[in-house]
C-alpha cells in the first residue's frame, strides 16, 4: 500500500499535469483569440460572469468539501448532493433568465440579455458532472481528470479560434464552453460510471449542510466582494478598461491560482485523513506552505518584471493598458497560496465557522480600501488590492495558530528566505528588461537570467525546498 507521502506526491503530479495541460491549452488558445477580439468584448463577458460565479456558490453550497472530508460517505450522500445541485441549478437558471433584461439595462448593453440566457445553461451542465468530479478528487485520481479536461479544452480552443476568425465576436467566448460542457458530462460518465440512486436523504442533507452552509456564506461573501471590482469598473469606467483589467488578472492568476488549486485539490483529502493528528498535520502543512511559495513567489515576481514585453509580444499593443495593471496585481496574487492553504486547514479541521468569520473580516477591509482607492483610478484600485492581500495574510493565519500553533510569525519565518531571494531576482530581471534593446530580447533574457539566478542561488544557499522539488520530480519519474 502506498504511504501518505507517495500518494500525495503522485496526486500533486497528476493534478499539476491535469491543471497545467488544460490551462496551458486555454492560455495558448486564449492568446490567439485575444489577438483577434477586442478588450471590450472580453469586458462584456466579464460583466456577466459576476452573476454566474455568485449563483455557482448556491449550487455547490459547500457540499463538495463536505463530501470530501466526510469519512463514512455513502452512495446515498452522493445522490442527495446530486439532486440538490441539479434542482438549485435549475432554479438559478430560471432566475437568471428572468433577470437578463435588467442586467442588460443596468449596464446599457442590449446584447447582454441574450448572452445571459445562453451562458446560464452552463450552470445546469456543471451541476450534472459535479459528483463525478468529487469522486475523482476523493480517490486522488487526477490522471482520469486529465483525460476528461484536456480534450474538453481542445474543443473550446479550436472552436473558439474558428469562431473568432469567422467574426462571431463576443459569442466566441460563450458557445464553445457550452459545447465542451456537454462533452465533459459524457466523458465523466464514461470514466466514472456513476448514476444517482433514486433516493434523497434529509438526514444526510442536514448533516452536510451544517458544515457546508458556513462555506456557502463564506463563498458568497468572497465572490460578491471580489466581483465588486468588475461591477464598478464596468459601470463607471468602460468595457475596454474592464477587459484589460480582467486580462491582467487572468495572466497573474495563471500561476498563483493554478498551483494553489493543485495543492488544495490534493491536500484537502490527504490532510483530512490525518485531521486528528495535530503534530503530524502541522509538520506536513508547514512543508506545503514552504514548497508552494518557493515555486509561486519567483513566478509572480518574474512575471511582473517581464510584463511589458510579455503583453506586447503575445497580445499586441492594443492591450498595453494591461501592462501596469499586471505588474501590480502580481504582488497581490503572489500571496494567494498562503491565503488558500490556511483556509484549507480550517476545512480539514471542520471549522467552517472560523472560515466564515475570516471572510467577513477580510471583506470589511476590502470595502474600506475600495472606497479609498476608487476615486483615484484603476491603478490605485490595484495597489489597494496589494495592501488588502497583505492584511489578509495576518487574518488568515490567526486561526491556524489557534488550531495547530502555526500562526503568522511562524509562517513568515518559514517563507522569508524565499521572499527575499525572489525579490532580489525580480529586481535583477527588471534591470535586464530595461537594458535589452528589443521586446524579444527583453522577454527571453529576462526569463533566462531570472531562472538561472533563482535556481542557482537556491542551490548555493542550500534551500531544502529545491531538493524537495527534485525529489518530487524523481518520484513522479519526470527525471
Distances (CA, A) of 220 to 62, 255, 337, 379: 11, 24, 20, 26
3-state secondary structure of 68: helix
Helix (H) / strand (E) element for 47: namely: helix 39-60
pLDDT of residue 352: 66
> Once rounded to an integer, what is the mean pLDDT over residues 135-142?
75
**Residue whose grid cell is 519526470:** 478
pLDDT of residue 473: 54
Of the chain, the percentage scoring pLDDT greater than 70 comes to 87
Of the chain, the percentage scoring pLDDT greater than 90 comes to 20
pLDDT of residue 477: 47
> Once rounded to an integer, what is the mean pLDDT over residues 51-70?
79
pLDDT digits (tens, 9 = 90+) for 182-198: 988 888 888 888 888 88
Lowest mean pLDDT among 85-89, 247-251, 283-287, 447-451: 283-287
pLDDT of residue 475: 46
> Once rounded to an integer, what is the mean pLDDT over residues 421-433?
95
3-state secondary structure of 61: coil
Mean pLDDT of the chain: 82
pLDDT digits (tens, 9 = 90+) for 6-34: 555 555 566 666 666 776 777 788 888 88
Cell numbers standing for residue 225: 466582494
3-state secondary structure of 73: coil
pLDDT of residue 476: 46
Return d(Cα 342, Cα 211) in angstroms, integer. Answer: 17
pLDDT of residue 1: 41
pLDDT of residue 184: 87
> Once rounded to an integer, what is the mean pLDDT over residues 61-84?
81
Cell numbers standing for residue 314: 503575445
pLDDT of residue 253: 82
From the CB of residue 31, how many other CB atoms can be counted at a distance below 10 Å? 13
pLDDT exceeds 50 at position 270: yes
Return d(Cα 471, Cα 478) in angstroms, integer. Answer: 10
| Of the ranges 103-107, 200-204, 429-433, the best mean pLDDT one | 429-433
Amino acid at each position: 500500500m502506498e504511504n501518505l507521502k507517495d500518494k500525495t506526491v503522485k496526486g500533486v503530479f497528476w493534478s499539476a499535469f491535469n491543471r497545467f495541460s488544460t490551462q496551458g491549452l486555454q492560455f495558448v488558445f486564449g492568446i490567439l483569440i485575444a489577438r483577434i477580439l477586442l478588450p471590450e468584448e472580453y469586458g462584456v463577458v466579464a460583466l456577466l460572469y459576476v452573476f454566474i460565479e455568485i449563483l455557482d456558490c448556491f449550487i455547490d453550497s459547500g457540499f463538495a468539501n463536505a463530501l470530501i472530508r466526510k469519512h463514512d460517505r455513502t452512495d446515498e450522500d452522493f445522490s442527495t448532493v446530486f439532486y440538490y445541485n441539479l434542482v438549485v441549478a435549475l432554479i438559478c437558471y430560471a432566475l437568471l433568465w428572468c433577470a437578463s433584461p435588467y442586467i442588460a439595462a443596468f449596464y446599457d448593453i442590449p446584447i447582454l440579455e441574450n448572452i445571459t440566457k445562453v451562458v446560464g445553461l452552463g450552470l445546469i451542465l456543471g451541476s450534472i458532472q459535479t459528483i463525478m468530479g468529487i469522486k475523482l478528487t476523493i480517490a486522488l485520481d487526477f490522471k482520469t481528470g486529465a483525460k476528461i479536461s484536456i480534450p474538453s479544452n481542445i474543443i473550446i480552443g479550436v472552436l473558439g479560434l474558428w469562431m473568432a476568425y469567422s467574426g462571431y465576436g463576443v459569442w466566441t467566448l460563450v458557445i464553445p464552453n457550452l459545447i465542451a460542457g456537454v462533452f465533459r458530462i459524457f466523458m465523466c460518465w464514461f470514466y466514472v460510471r456513476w448514476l444517482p440512486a433514486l433516493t434523497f436523504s434529509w438526514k444526510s442533507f442536514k448533516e452536510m449542510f451544517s458544515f457546508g452552509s458556513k462555506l456557502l456564506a463564506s463563498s458568497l461573501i468572497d465572490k460578491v466582494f471580489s466581483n465588486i471590482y468588475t461591477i464598478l469598473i464596468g459601470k463607471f469606467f468602460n468595457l475596454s478598461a474592464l477587459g484589460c483589467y480582467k486580462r491582467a488578472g487572468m495572466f497573474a492568476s495563471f500561476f498563483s491560482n493554478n498551483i494553489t488549486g493543485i495543492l488544495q485539490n490534493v491536500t484537502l483529502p490527504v490532510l483530512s485523513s490525518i485531521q486528528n493528528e495535530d503534530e503530524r498535520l502541522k509538520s506536513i502543512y508547514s512543508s506545503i506552505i514552504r514548497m508552494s511559495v518557493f515555486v509561486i513567489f519567483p513566478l509572480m515576481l518574474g512575471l511582473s518584471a517581464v510584463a511589458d514585453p510579455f503583453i506586447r509580444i503575445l497580445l499586441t499593443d492594443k492591450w498595453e493598458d494591461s501592462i501596469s495593471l499586471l505588474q501590480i496585481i502580481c504582488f497581490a496574487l503572489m500571496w494567494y497560496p498562503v491565503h488558500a492553504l490556511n483556509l484549507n486547514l480550517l476545512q480539514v479541521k471542520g471549522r467552517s465557522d472560523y472560515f466564515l468569520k475570516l471572510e467577513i473580516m477580510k471583506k470589511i477591509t476590502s470595502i474600506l480600501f475600495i472606497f479609498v482607492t476608487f476615486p483615484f483610478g484603476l491603478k490605485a484600485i490595484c495597489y489597494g488590492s496589494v495592501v488588502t492581500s497583505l492584511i489578509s495574510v495576518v487574518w488568515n493565519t490567526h486561526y491556524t495558530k489557534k488550531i495547530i500553533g502555526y500562526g503568522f510569525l511562524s509562517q513568515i519565518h518559514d517563507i522569508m528566505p524565499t521572499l527575499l531571494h525572489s525579490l532580489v531576482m525580480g529586481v535583477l530581471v527588471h534591470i535586464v528588461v530595461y537594458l535589452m534593446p528589443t521586446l524579444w530580447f527583453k522577454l527571453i533574457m529576462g526569463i533566462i537570467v531570472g531562472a538561472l539566478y533563482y535556481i542557482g542561488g537556491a542551490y548555493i544557499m542550500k534551500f531544502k525546498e529545491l531538493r524537495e522539488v527534485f525529489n518530487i520530480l524523481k518520484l513522479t519519474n519526470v527525471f
